[in-house]
């Protein structure tokens, strides 16, 4: 019978994970900044066809970032709770 041991990540492992998340989040935030400026320029120029797709894309990016933050919180909670 196989059993799986769920061992919480050590601090060094979590630090590596946070570095990876941070790189991903930074890329997404830069993408959102570009999206916001491009959308604003287009909308001020009278082109409103991109407004809703851009808003949806930006919300999707926020969802990705929020998901990563939620995963980080789960890592921290898993560290504090005793493994059973």
Partner 1 sequence: MSEVTSDPRGPIDPQVNTSGREGLTGTAPANLYGPLVEREQITIAPDFAPADTQPAWRQDFPIDWPQDQYVERRDFMKFMVLTSAAFAVGQLWIAAQNWWRRQNGSYEIRRIASVDDVAVGGAIVFTYPAEHDRCLLVRTSDTQFVAFSQKCTHLSCAVIPRPEEGIFFCPCHEGRFDLRSGAPTAGPPRRPLPRILLDIRGRTIYAVGVEERTV
Residues at the contact surface with partner 1, assessed by CB under 8 A: 10-12, 14-15, 18-19, 21-22, 25-26, 28-29, 32-33, 35-36, 39-48, 51-52, 54-55, 58-59, 61-62, 65-66, 68-69, 72
Residue among 1 and 44 whose Cβ is closer to partner 1: 44
Q: State how far the Cα of 32 lies from the Cα of 54, in Å rounded to an integer.
A: 9
Name the residue nearer to partner 1 (CB basis): 10 or 74. Answer: 10
Specify the residue, 1 or 8, whose C-beta has the smaller distance to partner 1: 8
- DSSP line for 47-66: --TTHHHHHHHHHHHHHHHH
Burial of residue 19, with CB atoms counted within 10 A of its CB: 0-12 exposed, 13-18 middle, 19 or more buried: exposed
């Amino acid at each position: 019978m196989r059993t799986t041991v769920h061992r919480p990540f050590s601090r060094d492992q979590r630090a590596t994970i946070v570095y990876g998340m941070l790189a991903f989040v930074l890329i997404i935030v830069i993408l959102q900044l570009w999206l916001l400026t491009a959308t604003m320029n287009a909308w001020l120029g009278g082109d409103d066809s991109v407004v809703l797709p851009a808003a949806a894309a930006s919300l999707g990016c926020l969802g990705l970032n929020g998901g990563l933050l939620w995963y980080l919180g789960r890592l921290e909670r898993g560290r504090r709770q005793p493994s059973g």
